[in-house]
Structure 1
Amino acid sequence: MADNAARQLSRMFYRISIAIEAGKDHLSDLDGAIGDADHGITMSLGFMAVNAELAKLNLDDTLPSEVLTAAASAFLDAVGASTGPLYATAFRRAAQALKQEDCLSSTGQAAIVEAMTTGIMERGKGQRGDKTMLDAWIPATEAAASARARAASS
């Protein structure tokens, strides 16, 4: 069985789900300092829904953009409040950035992170320093762009 880009993305979502599940109480505790203390539970539900949806796909015949589109719909269906639409928008933007590509090149990987960050910024009307998830996503985007530039120059 080939380890294609769709399988790699599916495995990534599975690993994210495991990490979120392991840290959901801590995430909820952190959220409780400024919010309603449900972020860990919300993220866990969202990524479990993504994994359930991806399990229905034939990953041998699925483009990476289709994986991200399925993830967007599943996350939005499972998670309300602001987190659902923010991540759904992020995943949809990432899908658009990949279009019909069938691999995950370093350029494509950077494009995913950049598109997700842009989607979150536009949907949430946020920016760096607002004490939101963008304070993590923006530096991740900068690191991805830097890595892409290093790869292009070598």
Structure 2
Amino acid sequence: MKNFTIENATAADLSQLFEITKRTISATYKSFLPPAIVEEYITSGASNQEIERNLAHCFTLRNEHRIIGLGICIDNLIHFMLIDEDFQHRGFGKHLLHFLEQHIKANGFSEGQLETYAGNEQALGFYLSQNWELTKKEMDAKLDIERLYFRKKF
């Protein structure tokens, strides 16, 4: 792993964030969500709107000045976390998750929360390996898929 930094996202980062998110969601989410739902999320602009709406809470992970990941952290909730598909399985996700955990703690919270979908085996295994505790399962009626809720005490 070469030099990496984690920085607050800015409006100047949006085009890169949109591109990474679109490409990575398109390549990875279809393994656990219906492809039509994934395509609608991307083509409707909803993924871009989610990033824009939460830009003040967004952090970028950069490898040699290239954005390769992002995390959105609102209070004690890790709302969204993504590593560019070309950089997965290299330890970058661990670094970003650890940073977000430290951010939560630095803001006075003793517990973090996050969620994913039941079919997202990669994320499920990753969060469990990082000592996050699965606390709840709930059906998402809109997507007809089970959501998994996690927490981690600090």
Normalized per residue, the structure richer in helix is 1
Normalized per residue, the structure richer in strand is 2
TM-score range, shorter chain: 0.3 to 0.5
